[in-house]
Amino acid sequence: MAGHERAVCQGSRRGAAPGAMNAATNTVTFRPSGPLRGRVRVPGDKSITQRALLVGAVCERPVEIVGPVWAGDPLATAGMVVDLGVAIDGLAARERRAVVHGVGLRGLRAPGHSLDAGNSGTGMRLLAGLLAGQRGSFVIDGDRYLRGRPMARIVAPLRAMGARITTRDGERAPLTIDGGPLRAIRHEPPVASAQVKSCLLLAGLLAEGETVVCEPAPSRDHTELMLAAAGASVARRGAEVAVRGAERLDLGRIAIPGDLSSAAFLVAAALLVPGSDLVVSEVGLNPTRLGFCEAVRAMGGEIEWAVTGTDGGEPRGELRVRASALHGTTVPAAATPSLIDEVTLLALLGCFAEGETVVEGVSDLRAKETDRLAAIVEIVTALGGAAETSADALRIGGTDAVRPGGARILRGGALDSRGDHRLALLGAVAGLACPAGVTVTGFEAATVSFPDFSDVLAEVLPS
């Protein structure tokens, strides 16, 4: 196999099926394999695909989704939508075009068994907003990682809207939701979160009055854009976004752009591997997701992007990146939500940059698929780098940092994905850049967002 060696442990199999987070552990070693060159596309955006499935479910007429990503998280969300009585053509065969046969804003039906959000925080939190205003009693559960994640951030404001919700241990899944009438609220979450905002906007569709969410910094705005495209009354006023109760939604057709957060793994590899020159085409370039590209540019990275079209308010286009000498940067807290899923990669880039890299406002990373902040520090340190957290910031030592053993560059080694897709993929990129390569245990976690990562990588590595 081109570029990297697969060392698959007993009981595992090549390319675990999307969503099949089975017990088998897939161990893969990634090594320096030459420059990444050429033009490539990445799978559809996970956040937008999940929103299209959920919004499509409550539309009045069928919604065509072109280019969904059938990775673990969207498959889990699609499964819940089907359990709620909504037919989805193209799901069983994982086709490039799906049709969601929406049942109307209040038409979701309780299945009589619990809904399984799998590993997906987006699926659980956004669906909770929609179900709070339906008729019937619903239980949403998830895997052991999702069961450990905080849900008070949605449960408290939903209760303020009049929702009846019970949780495990005061704030964990499974969530039991007894749907009923909702009233609009104004909510100011202490931390920017697109999942919280989207949950409340979806509940707001079913509430009387105007529901307002005011965030401390802007999070991704895919829900707002999609609801506006579906005919809802959505308004952005500075830091606030407001939605009014709706009668009906009609999305029609939506094309999903490539996932910039998946592209970011290839971008980081291309920046670090000498001689690389890579173009990612048809990728989502929503300004609320561009923080990583902007930080790379601030680090001296040769990166450029251009919008070539817009669909449902979502810009898409082309991204070009070349291997670059990097220097450290500081990402202020206000910009962190726009790169929240790329902090792992920024940490890796920081290890190869001259001078310190600091990312401020990172405490919410402790509430991701795993405690990603602790994991970044452990992984960077284990691979031979220097990382620490202080107050609400992550600090990464650059090439000039003094390291045990006198090494001036990350040497490589091994890491465990901890069941977190972004850590599994971080290990792959680190392996391409570190002289000793990186062995990733639990690489199957990558299927949550980027099931065909190894194949896409093979397209751009020398054969």
Residue 195 or residue 262: which is nearer to ligand S3P going by CB?
195
**Residues 73, 141, 143, 341: which is the catalytic one?**
341
Closest to ligand S3P by CB, 273 or 365: 365
Smallest separation, CB 120 to ligand S3P (Å): 9
Residues in 20-49 that interact with ligand S3P by CB under 6 A: 47
Smallest separation, CB 340 to ligand S3P (Å):
5
Distance CA 186, CA 207 (A): 12
* Residue whose CB is less far from ligand S3P, 25 or 193: 193
Interface residue with ligand S3P among 341, 416, 420, 444 (CB under 6 A) is 341
Q: Comparing C-alpha atoms, which of 238, 344, 359, 339 is closest to residue 288? A: 339
SS3 of residue 57 by DSSP: helix
Residue 222 Cβ vs ligand S3P, minimum distance, rounded to whole Å:
7
Closer to ligand S3P by Cβ: residue 193 or 286: 193
Q: Which residues contact 448 (CB under 8 A, 6 or more apart)?
A: 21, 71, 72, 73, 119, 120, 369, 421
Nearer to ligand S3P, 58 or 401 (CB): 58
What is the helix, strand, coil percentage profile of the chain, to 5? 35, 25, 40
Q: Rule CB under 6 A: choose which of 12, 25, 134, 195 binds ligand S3P.
A: 195
Residue 189 preceded by cis peptide, ω within 30: no
User: What b/e sequence results for 295-305 when a residue is b if at least 16 CB atoms lie within 10 Å of its CB, and e otherwise?
Assistant: bbbbbbbbbeb
Mapped onto helix, strand or coil, the DSSP state of residue 354 is strand
Residues linked to residue 164 through DSSP beta bridges, in sequence order: 178
Length of the chain: 463
Residue of this chain nearest to ligand S3P (CB atom) = 47
Q: Which stretch binds ligand S3P (CB under 6 A): 192-200, 294-302, 324-332, 428-436?
A: 192-200
Sequence-distant (6+) residues with CB within 8 A of 117 are: 76, 77, 80, 123, 124, 127, 140, 141, 142, 146, 173
Please choose, out of 86-94, 187-195, 342-350, 435-443, the segment that lies near ligand S3P by the rule CB under 6 A. Answer: 187-195
- Of 29 and 122, CB closest to ligand S3P: 122
| Amino acid identity at 314 | E
Please report whether residue 193 would count as binding ligand S3P according to CB under 6 A.
Answer: yes
Measured in degrees and rounded to the nearest 5, phi and psi for residue 222 equal: -60, -35
The Cβ of residue 435 has, within 10 Å, a number of other Cβ atoms equal to 12
For the bound state, the minimum distance from the C-beta of residue 180 to ligand S3P, rounded and expressed in Å, comes to 25
- Is 7 within 8 Å of 28 (Cβ atoms)? yes
340 contributes a contact to ligand S3P by CB under 6 A: yes
Residue 77 in the binding site for ligand S3P (CB under 6 A): no
Q: Cβ of residue 87: shortest distance to ligand S3P, in angstroms? A: 24
Question: Which window, 6-14, 189-197, 279-287, 428-436, contacts ligand S3P (CB under 6 A)?
Answer: 189-197
Q: Is 365:339 a contact under the CB 8 Å cutoff? A: no
Of residues 215-244, which lie at the interface with ligand S3P (CB under 6 A)?
Answer: 219-220
Per CB under 6 A, contacts with ligand S3P among 201-220 are 219-220
341 is catalytic: yes
Plot region of 85 (φ>0 → left; ψ -120 to 50 → alpha; else → beta): left
* Alpha-carbon dihedral angle through residues 393, 394, 397, 402, given to the nearest 10 degrees: 80
What's 405's DSSP letter?
G
Which strand (E) or helix (H) includes residue 178? strand 172-179
Dist CA 43 CA 432 (whole Å): 21
Shortest distance (Å) from residue 275 CB to ligand S3P: 32
Number of residues engaging ligand S3P in binding (CB under 6 A): 10
The stretch among 34-42, 79-87, 191-199, 231-239 that binds ligand S3P (CB under 6 A) is 191-199
Greatest CA span in the chain, whole angstroms? Answer: 66
Least distance in Å: CB of 367 to ligand S3P? 7
Of 26 and 120, the one with the shorter C-beta distance to ligand S3P is 120
Strand pairing report for 97-100 and 63-66? antiparallel
Kindly state whether residue 122 participates in binding ligand S3P, applying the rule CB under 6 A: yes
Nearer to ligand S3P, 220 or 418 (CB): 220
Asked if 346 is part of the footprint of ligand S3P (rule: CB under 6 A), the reply reads no
Q: Which of 184, 194, 230, 268 binds ligand S3P (CB under 6 A)?
A: 194
Sheet holding 115-116, edge to edge: 115-116, 136-141, 172-179, 164-168
Does 324 participate in binding ligand S3P (rule CB under 6 A)? no
Least distance in Å: CB of 73 to ligand S3P? 8
Please enumerate in sequence order all residues whose Cβ is within 8 A of that of 181, keeping only pairs 6 or more positions apart, or say none.
Answer: 133, 162, 208
445 binds ligand S3P, rule: CB under 6 A: no
CB of 364 to ligand S3P, least distance (A): 6
Interface positions with ligand S3P (CB under 6 A) = 47, 122, 193-195, 198, 219-220, 340-341
Catalytic center residues: 341
